[in-house]
């Protein structure tokens, strides 16, 4: 009987240690890392001078909050830095292709690529569009995905110009 009690104790303690390690790994995954974001932003300098617009504009999508954080414009591309905070983190995947940028002339910029990384309750990422020649006044961000639509007019003021 004593051997069974010792074996049970060892098994219980092993399970506790394993679940403790899994919990620590999960907690580390919740900590946001901005290092890859910073590296991506630094890589934009290879295209020449970068104009940064701080946006911090939010769109409520049925309780999920999309935030257009910053817009970077180089001579070769326009990059939107965004984040999305989801009510249900295990729910739907955010479709980057549903985001459209329309310049002040009414022309839609073609989307070339996107990247994202998961956070605790959503994701953050970058969407690259073709270059925007001389952005004037504002841009329009459109979101259109099945039954979810939203539009946001964003005035453009360079960092340091006072918004």
85-124 confidence digits (pLDDT tens): 888 766 677 788 888 998 888 888 888 888 777 676 778 8
Give the span between the Cα atoms of 144 and 95, in whole angstroms: 10
3 state DSSP class of 45: helix
Q: In terms of C-beta density within 10 A (0-12 exposed, 13-18 middle, 19 or more buried), how is residue 48 classed?
A: exposed
Give the span between the Cα atoms of 41 and 43, in whole angstroms: 5
Q: Which pLDDT belongs to residue 162? A: 43
Q: Are 151 and 98 in contact (CB under 8 A)?
A: no
pLDDT at residue 163 above 50? no
Q: Which residue has the higher pLDDT, 149 or 30?
A: 149
Give which of 145, 134, 162, 157 is closest to 61, Cα–Cα. Answer: 145
Q: Are 64 and 84 in contact (CB under 8 A)?
A: yes
pLDDT at residue 68 above 50? yes
3 state DSSP class of 155: strand
pLDDT grade for 12, boundaries at 50, 70 and 90? very high
């Amino acid at each position: 009987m004593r051997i069974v009690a010792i074996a049970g104790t060892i098994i219980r303690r092993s399970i506790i240690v394993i679940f403790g390690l899994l919990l620590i790994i999960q907690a580390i995954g919740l900590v946001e890392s901005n290092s890859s974001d910073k590296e991506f932003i630094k890589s934009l300098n290879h295209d020449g001078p970068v104009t940064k617009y701080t946006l911090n504009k939010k769109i409520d999508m049925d309780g999920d909050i999309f935030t257009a954080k910053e817009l970077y414009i180089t001579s070769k591309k326009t990059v939107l830095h965004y984040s999305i905070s989801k009510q249900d983190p295990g729910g739907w995947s955010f479709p980057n292709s549903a985001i459209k940028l329309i310049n002040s002339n009414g022309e839609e910029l073609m989307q070339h690529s996107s990247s994202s990384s998961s956070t605790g309750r959503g994701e953050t990422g970058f969407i690259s569009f073709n270059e925007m020649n001389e952005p004037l006044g504002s841009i329009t961000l459109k979101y259109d995905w099945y039954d979810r639509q939203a539009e946001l007019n964003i005035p453009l003021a360079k960092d340091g110009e006072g918004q």
